[in-house]
Amino acid sequence: MTATVAPETAANAPMPARPALAQDWRRLVRMGAVGAVAQIFIALSNMPVRLDERLVVKPILSLGYLCLLIVPFAAGHRVGHQIEREGVPQHTAGAHEVAGGAACGAIAGGGLSLLAVLLANFDLREPLVNWSPMLAELLAFGHTTGFAVVVWLLIGTAVGAAGGGLRLLGPRSQRAAVTMVLTVAGAAVLEPLVVDLAEGMGLEALSDRLYHRRGGVNWTSALVLAAVSGILAVLGRGRMRQAREHIAALEGAKRTRTNLGLIAATAALLVILPLFAGKLTNELAANVGLFVLLALGLNIVVGLAGILDLGYVAFFAVGSYTAAVLTAATSPRIHPELPWLVALIIVVVVTGLVGLFIGAPVIRMRGDYLAIVTLGFGEIIRLIFLSDWLSGWFGGAQGITKIPGAGIFGLTSVAGTDPRRVFYLVLAFCAIAIYVSWRLERSRLGRAWMAVREDETVAEAMGINTVNVKLLAFVVGAVLGSFSGAIFSAKVGSVFPNSFLILVSIVILVVVIFGGMGSIVGVIAGSAVLIGVLGGPKQPGLLAEFSEFKLLIYGALLIWMMLARPEGLIPSVRRSRELHQQEMAQDAWLKGQVEDDNGSDNGNGNNNDGRQAAAAT
């Protein structure tokens, strides 16, 4: 844990606010320097220039500037962060938060000032491709370099102060503020989706009012949105939790009925909405669905059984290629041109066998060796599809093209030209996958997987055949992945070895980890957020401008998730308990200790527990 060691004092009561200048200066400067480096990196990665086109709030703010502003804000906010500790008093927030944030933000903003000066005086175009006059102009808002220097220092100070100032608000108003900002940002991000849906439902008037014609939320609508969401956040926060607790407190049969009702409502919404949506939305939803399917499969392997499979793309590839070979007339060697559903059965069998074949040799290995070896298998499978050796079967680098759409009982044919049908097909398979995962998680096998994940030796001692159980996880994961592959080949109409790079595996892994390993809802949410907003390895998302940077963001996100929240966005309770076992044990021990020392008059006795419980739910 990166803990800032708060000064040790004898008193256990909350300390009064510090004076504005009593800062932990070393930490402040370090934080500011990290912010400055981050600013320079973002500026040189061309993100601001590229994203300047996309407006968030009509004339005021573009996504490009937002990328830069978020850094001093985060640094300013972070610099006042204290780890809550048992027995160590907390400072109450005060003017020093704002002052510290401002100083930190100023240093971070100073990074851009420095960059502006460097841009004006040196030419480093040779290694750094984005060292351009465009960037200089953007940083200077079209004015002189001196203006840029001053303005970025001021902006950094102001934004950093705002970040630090956020700590002054009470938890309730803080939440409201965050909700307001997120709502406006969300409205801006979802713009293409909302416009598309509004057109489908004949509500153009609404979307025209909300968004400016060239993109971006109108500033008036932004204010209205912020106000409404702020009020709702203040009013609704407690209600949501109450409702959740209410459902959780219901007895068995009633709770099942309520949950089923919720699921049915969601399903109905998912079935009806596409009818009103245009091509873009459906295409997006179909892509998200494909990744939900892949992520659910990987979730069984990684999330439930705890096997880190980095070559998951191999099963996606095998599924795609098998379906392509069996259905396409243009397949080089054999072309039985089977109906898609018949082919699907063979695909499942073949992928299951491949899963067995890959799984059997690796299943005994140590977890980390297994990861690298599966990565190797993933790459070998792609190289084999790519090689001249088997090009007579799989077409080599040319791949297999003109794959017919997926015919369902001769009723309809689902091809990529009609994304709505693809979406429904994907939805059906997602429903199957969700049901299978849900049932498996609660079955004897699922419990065995989780036991193996938690401690293999103990699981073995309890009479679980760990090898067979892990192998089964591998095969089930492979089969779910192959569904996605079969749909993918019918949707795209062609398969090439280069669609199955290792980076696809990594992206699916990021989706699973971001959403929450072992949590079905988490995995679905993870795919929706990441694939829907940023886009898949080759598929564009809502923020199409981000396509150059999305892999960078995936990488950063993976690191950040592992450091800050390894249990994911919507964690499974059991998994997060496992991850925080040590901390919880420590807290329990500490609590016992503190009570022994001070008796019952301990003011912050429950602070840590509250935090842990919040993390666990």
Partner 1 sequence: MIRKGGGPRTGVDWFLTILRVAVLTVIAVGLLAFIAQEIDTDNPFARWANPDATGLTGAQFRGLVVSGVAQGCMYGLIALGYSMVYGVLGFINFAHGEVFMVGAMTGMITSNKLADAGLWESNFIGSLVFIVIVSMVVCTLTAVIMERVAYRPLRGSPRLIPLITSIGVSFFIQNASIVLLGPAAKSYPDVPDWVKDKHTFMQIEGARILVVAVAAVSMLVLWYLVEHTKGGKAMRAVAEDAEIAALMGIDVNRTIVKVFAVGGAMAGLAGILWGILFRSVIHTTGFLPGIKAFSAAVVGGIGHLGGAMAGGVSIGVAESVGPLLILEPLGVSGVSQLRDAVAFAVLIGVLLLRPSGIFGERLPAEDRT
Identify which of residues 155 and 370 has a Cβ nearer to partner 1 in the complex: 370
Residue 118 corresponds to which tokens in the numbers above?
A: 């460097």
Identify which of residues 239 and 364 has a Cβ nearer to partner 1 in the complex: 364
Which uninterrupted H or E stretch holds 57? strand 55-57
**Residue 561 CB, nearest distance to partner 1 (Å)?**
8
**Residue 201 CB, nearest distance to partner 1 (Å)?**
39
Identify which of residues 333 and 442 has a Cβ nearer to partner 1 in the complex: 333
**Residue 262 CB, nearest distance to partner 1 (Å)?**
32
d(CA 225, CA 72): 25
Identify which of residues 375 and 486 has a Cβ nearer to partner 1 in the complex: 375
**Contact indicator for 343, 530 with CB cutoff of 8 Å:** no
Q: How far are the Cα atoms of 186, 192, 196, 418, 492 from residue 281, in angstroms, in the given order? A: 16, 8, 7, 12, 17
d(CA 506, CA 116): 36
Residue 210 corresponds to which tokens in the numbers above?
A: 């909300």
Q: Position 243: which residue type? A: A
CB neighbours of 536 closer than 8 A, spacing ≥ 6? Answer: 287, 290, 291, 504, 507
Identify which of residues 267 and 360 has a Cβ nearer to partner 1 in the complex: 360
Identify which of residues 371 and 425 has a Cβ nearer to partner 1 in the complex: 371
Identify which of residues 3 and 253 has a Cβ nearer to partner 1 in the complex: 3
Identify which of residues 207 and 547 has a Cβ nearer to partner 1 in the complex: 547
**Residue 310 CB, nearest distance to partner 1 (Å)?**
7
**Residue 391 CB, nearest distance to partner 1 (Å)?**
8
Based on the number of CB atoms within 10 Å of its own CB, is 229 exposed (0-12), middle (13-18) or buried (19 or more)? Answer: buried
**Residue 294 CB, nearest distance to partner 1 (Å)?**
17
CA atoms within 13 A on the CB side of 439: 6
Best CA proximity match to 451, nearest among 434, 439, 465, 438 = 465
Bridge partners, 400 (sequence order): 495
**Residue 324 CB, nearest distance to partner 1 (Å)?**
21
**Residue 398 CB, nearest distance to partner 1 (Å)?**
14
d(CA 552, CA 45): 10
Identify which of residues 165 and 515 has a Cβ nearer to partner 1 in the complex: 515
**Residue 35 CB, nearest distance to partner 1 (Å)?**
14
d(CA 188, CA 221): 11
d(CA 525, CA 325): 33
Identify which of residues 221 and 576 has a Cβ nearer to partner 1 in the complex: 576
**Residue 406 CB, nearest distance to partner 1 (Å)?**
31
Sign, CA torsion 253/256/261/264? negative
d(CA 180, CA 178): 5
**Residue 93 CB, nearest distance to partner 1 (Å)?**
25
**Contact indicator for 343, 322 with CB cutoff of 8 Å:** yes
**Residue 613 CB, nearest distance to partner 1 (Å)?**
21
**Contact indicator for 464, 446 with CB cutoff of 8 Å:** no
Q: Position 332: which residue type? A: P
Identify which of residues 245 and 455 has a Cβ nearer to partner 1 in the complex: 455
405: left (phi over 0), alpha (psi -120 to 50) or beta: beta
Residue 396 corresponds to which tokens in the numbers above?
A: 């080599």
Which uninterrupted H or E stretch holds 111? helix 95-121
Identify which of residues 185 and 551 has a Cβ nearer to partner 1 in the complex: 551
Identify which of residues 548 and 595 has a Cβ nearer to partner 1 in the complex: 548
d(CA 141, CA 261): 53
Best CA proximity match to 484, nearest among 440, 518, 531 = 531
Site for partner 1, rule CB under 8 A: 1-2, 41, 44-47, 126-130, 306, 308, 310, 360-369, 371-373, 375-377, 379-380, 383-384, 386-389, 460, 465, 467-468, 471, 502-503, 506, 509-510, 513, 548-549, 551-552, 554-559, 562-563, 566, 579, 582
**Residue 146 CB, nearest distance to partner 1 (Å)?**
27
What 3-state DSSP class applies to 15?
strand
Identify which of residues 125 and 172 has a Cβ nearer to partner 1 in the complex: 125
**Residue 357 CB, nearest distance to partner 1 (Å)?**
9
Identify which of residues 116 and 471 has a Cβ nearer to partner 1 in the complex: 471
CB neighbours of 345 closer than 8 A, spacing ≥ 6? Answer: none
Identify which of residues 502 and 590 has a Cβ nearer to partner 1 in the complex: 502
**Contact indicator for 233, 169 with CB cutoff of 8 Å:** no
| Torsions phi, psi for 279 (to 5 deg) | -60, -45
**Residue 135 CB, nearest distance to partner 1 (Å)?**
12
**Residue 458 CB, nearest distance to partner 1 (Å)?**
13
d(CA 83, CA 275): 49
What 3-state DSSP class applies to 3?
coil
| Torsions phi, psi for 296 (to 5 deg) | -65, -40
**Contact indicator for 604, 12 with CB cutoff of 8 Å:** yes
Of the chain, the end-to-end C-alpha distance in Å amounts to 21
